A and B are shown apart, each in its own frame.
Chain A
Amino acid sequence: MAKSDDDICILQGPLVFGNVVIGMCGIALTAECIFFVSDPHGLYPLLEATENNDIYAAAWIGIFVGFALFALSILGIVGVIKSNRTLLLVYIILMLITYAFEMASCITAATHQDFLTPNLFLKQMLERYQKSDTVNNNERWMTEGVTKTWDKLMLQNQCCGVRGPSDWQEYMSTFRTTHSDADFPWPRNCCVMDAQGSPVNLDGCKLGVPGYYNSNGCYDAISGPMNTHAWGVAWFGFAILCWTFCVLFGTMFYWSRIEY
């Protein structure tokens, strides 16, 4: 049985190392997901209004999975060093459950990222921006969120519409029903503003003179942070899971080699 001892001794080192890495990655995953959930770019109302905020659900799961990975990695290290079968069995089973949750989070984030297209935000903007007749409180909340977010987006990023100001001309919108086309070819926030928050040249803005209105679209400002968010959750989680697979497989092998 000397050979078995050697096997075990050889495996202990890599397994402990593997668990240390899992622990650190778990902390990193928790931190990253907390960052995403805190919504630093203020884009959550847009997602909320699509009634599909899977990316945020994935990030929330990521927070708890990261913490679980950290705790379980400590259990794993203790189990490997002590060569305790019970501990390691508990470790393996709990790790598999955590693995399943993290898998769900990764797949959800990756799937939802495909869902976020320019047309989605265009349709939402046209239907919800400055909508005044809302049916219930929930809709009013979502509509106000969309309006405030768009106003902030257009002001801060010097952009207009999803693809450009022509969005407001090519399509009818709820905004158009309350604001006439002659006075508001596009919302006021599409105009270049001065320090006091009023347009530098209102006539120039209405005419569309370059320099007095924002001629580029806001889609980059929306999709950039959202793609980072989705990729961060999905692919970092995927990397962690690949590593965890190796460690778990090694732990199973180690467990079967421990003397009873």
Chain B
Amino acid sequence: RPRHPGTRTMLPLLLLLLATAHSLADKEYVPTLATSPLGGLKTTSTFVLEQPRCAFTKVQSDAVIWLVVAVPEAVANFSNSVEPGTPERAFQGFPDSTPAYMTLNTTLLNYPCPKPPGEITVLRVGSETSCATDKTRPTCNGPLPGPGPYRVKFLALKGSKPVAETAWSKPITLKTALPPSSIPATGGGRSTGMIALTSILSILFAVLLAGLVAMLFFWGSHARGSGTFSKPEAVTVRRYNTHHVYDQPAARL
């Protein structure tokens, strides 16, 4: 049968489109930090991701979902076929000898779709401290060694074969702690109340001292004044009335 002239180029093009469409389909999901308000969303060595619910729609439920944490430089040549648990993907070597590690493995059954409303479905990356230096636990979810930035993605493995993956997340940078000596000078300024109090009290005290000095001076001069002659008897001129004085005007009338 005569073939359409364009089929030769059309068919490979179609296959190529199908292939890219197939591998892009699962890359729609981008891992993000948790959406609910959490105080510990990012600390200096951990961060909290939203669980990949409804991210792997075409994967069978017995696949194992792994979390891949990598430095941004390792994203370009990251290979999905390196198995987890090997020294190239061990947490203990991150980030110096292994630019990416894999952890938090769980079956797809633990990420049921759809997500029940109101539930907090999160993954805390960096919560296992006990195995952080234990080389026999290469898939340890240990605390991150520095502020990053880091990029993560989820990878679905069936046995040891990668079957699906999500896109890489945006770079996640953790908090950096400042030293306490960077806290600005702790001494407070002078408040207006304290200045008013100090000045008013000082003025009052000065007036009182001046009054005391004046008083003593007055006493001194008074004492000096009466010292030249003998102290007079304590005579008080009392006003006295006698019937006699008042009767006289009455008598005149």
Interface residues of chain A, those whose CB is within 8 Å of chain B, are 1-2, 92-93, 96, 99-100, 103, 106-107, 110-111, 113-117, 119-120, 122-123, 126-127, 165-166, 169-173, 176, 180-183, 185, 203, 206-210, 213, 215, 234-235, 238, 241-242, 245, 248-249, 252, 255-256, 259-260
Query: What 4 A-B pairs are tightest by C-beta distance, nearest first?
Result: A208-B39, A208-B40, A110-B194, A182-B143
Those of B123-137 within 8 Å (CB) of chain A: 124, 126-129
Whether B222 pairs with A182 at a CB distance below 8 angstroms is: no
Cβ of B193 within 8 Å of any chain A Cβ, yes or no, is yes
The answer, among A127, A170, A234, for a CB contact under 8 Å with B178, is A170
A185-B43, A207-B38, A208-B39 known; A180-B143 Cβ under 8 A = yes
**Minimum distance in angstroms from B175 CB to a CB of chain A:** 5
Q: Tell me which residues across on chain A come within 8 A of B209, comparing CB atoms.
A: 96
Q: A180-B143, A208-B39 are in contact. Are A171 and B201 (CB under 8 A)?
A: no
Majority SS at the chain A contact face: helix
Choose among B188, B205, B218 the residue that contacts A117 (Cβ–Cβ < 8 A): B188
Most chain A Cβ neighbours within 10 Å, of B40, B185, B226: B40
In the complex the two chains form, is A208's CB within 8 Å of B180's CB?
no
Among B127, B129, B188, B214, the residue within 8 A (CB) of A116 is B188
Closest to A119 in B: B186
In the docked arrangement, what's the CA distance between A234 and B139, Å?
63
Contact with A along B194-205 (1 / 0, CB 8 A): 100110111011
Q: What residue in chain A is nearest B38 (Cβ atoms)?
A: A208
Closest-by-CB residue of B relative to A93 is B212
Q: Say yes or no for B13: interface residue by CB 8 A criterion.
A: no
Min Cβ gap A162→B in Å is 10
22 contacts between A and B (CB under 8 A): A99-B205, A99-B208, A103-B201, A114-B188, A114-B189, A115-B187, A117-B186, A122-B183, A123-B183, A165-B39, A170-B175, A172-B180, A180-B45, A181-B46, A182-B46, A182-B142, A185-B40, A206-B40, A208-B38, A242-B204, A248-B211, A249-B208
B contact residues vs A (CB 8 Å cutoff): 36-41, 43-46, 48, 120, 122, 124, 126-129, 142-143, 175, 177-180, 182-191, 193-194, 197-198, 200-202, 204-205, 207-209, 211-212, 214-215, 218-219, 222, 226, 234, 236-237, 239
What separation, in Å, do the CA atoms of A100 and B190 have in the docked complex?
A: 22
What residues on B are CB-neighbors of A99 within 8 Å? 205, 208
Name the distance in Å between B180's Cβ and chain A's nearest Cβ. 4
Which chain B residue lies CB-closest to A166? B39
> How far, in angstroms, from A169 to B208 measured CA to CA in the complex?
56
Contact across chains for A182 and B126 when beta carbons are under 8 A apart = yes
- Chain A residues near B122: list those with CB within 8 A: 207
A123 to B126, CA, bound (A): 28
Q: How far is the CB of B93 from chain A (nearest CB, A)?
A: 18
Q: Using CB atoms, name the residue of chain B closest to A122.
A: B183
Q: Which residues in B have their C-beta under 8 angstroms from that of A171?
A: 177-180, 182-183
A213 to B214 Cα, complex, angstroms: 67
* B42 to A, closest residue via Cβ: A169
Given contacts A114-B191, A170-B178, A207-B40, 12 further A-B contacts (CB under 8 A): A103-B201, A103-B202, A110-B197, A111-B190, A116-B188, A119-B183, A120-B188, A181-B46, A213-B39, A241-B204, A252-B215, A256-B219
> In the assembled complex, which residues on chain B have CB atoms less than 8 Å from the CB atom of A259?
234, 236
Given the known interface contacts A1-B237, A171-B179, the answer about A209 and B208 at a Cβ–Cβ threshold of 8 Å is no
Chain B residues lying within 8 Å of A117, measured Cβ to Cβ, are 186-188
Pairwise interchain contact B190-A114, C-beta atoms closer than 8 A: yes
Query: With A117-B186, A123-B186 in contact, do A110 and B193 touch (Cβ < 8 Å)?
Result: yes
Question: Which B residues lie within 8 Å of A245 (CB)?
Answer: 204, 207-208
Contact A172 B178 (CB under 8 A): yes
Residues of A within 8 A of B198 (CB): 107, 110
CB <8 Å contact, A126 and B180: yes
Please, how many angstroms separate the alpha-carbon atoms of A256 and B220 in the complex? 11
